[in-house]
Amino acid sequence: GRYLLRMPEQIAYTMNNLTKILSFLSENGYRVLKHMGLGTTSHVFIIEKKKTKYALKIARDDHTQANSLELEYNIMKYLSTNEMSCYLPVIEDWIGEINGFLMEYLEYPKGSNRGTMLLMNMKKVKTHW
């Protein structure tokens, strides 16, 4: 029964969050092209600025989700500083005010040199084994 009591407040929170995110994006000159829910913990917005597309990954709502997303961000940021970088999109900074981060948007299979690089590198790795 307790879960039902929390529900409206949860929905309100998500709506507030979404409003905050959308105003953040328009203030910074981004246009939203697509929005996807990703599992239970995050949202992904495909956004565009000056003809460049980015993926914005944000925590769905509460602090635990924001914390786990920030942990994921830190891991990806760390991996992108070593030899794993060729397997990852370019990761931008953590944006605390909306609990999320921007990264390079990779369009598979075409439209991204990095995508092709990724596939080539994976083939290379396979031949190493």
**pTM for this entry:** 0.68
CB 69 within 8 A of CB 57: yes
What sign for the dihedral angle of Cα 71, 60, 18, 35? positive
pLDDT tens digits, 32-69: 998 887 777 788 899 999 999 999 998 877 678 889 89
Q: What is the mean pLDDT of the chain?
A: 77
Report pLDDT for 88.
86
Burial class (CB in 10 A: 0-12, 13-18, 19+), 37: exposed
**Band of pLDDT at residue 108, cut at 50, 70 and 90:** low
Q: How far is it, in rounded angstroms, from Cα 129 to Cα 127?
A: 6
Report pLDDT for 20.
84
pLDDT tens digits, 81-104: 888 888 888 999 999 888 899 999
Report pLDDT for 6.
47
Q: Residue 73 is part of which domain span?
A: 2-128
Q: Which residues contact residue 69 at a Cβ distance below 8 angstroms, ignoring those fewer than 6 apart?
A: 41, 42, 57, 58, 59, 99, 100, 101
Q: How far is it, in rounded angstroms, from Cα 55 to Cα 7?
A: 29
**Band of pLDDT at residue 114, cut at 50, 70 and 90:** low
Report pLDDT for 18.
79
CATH number of the domain where residue 81 is located = 3.30.200.20
For the chain, the domain total comes to 1
In 69-108, which positions are buried (b, 16+ CB within 10 angstroms) versus exposed (e)? bbeebeebbeebeeeeeeebbebeeebeebbbbbbebbee
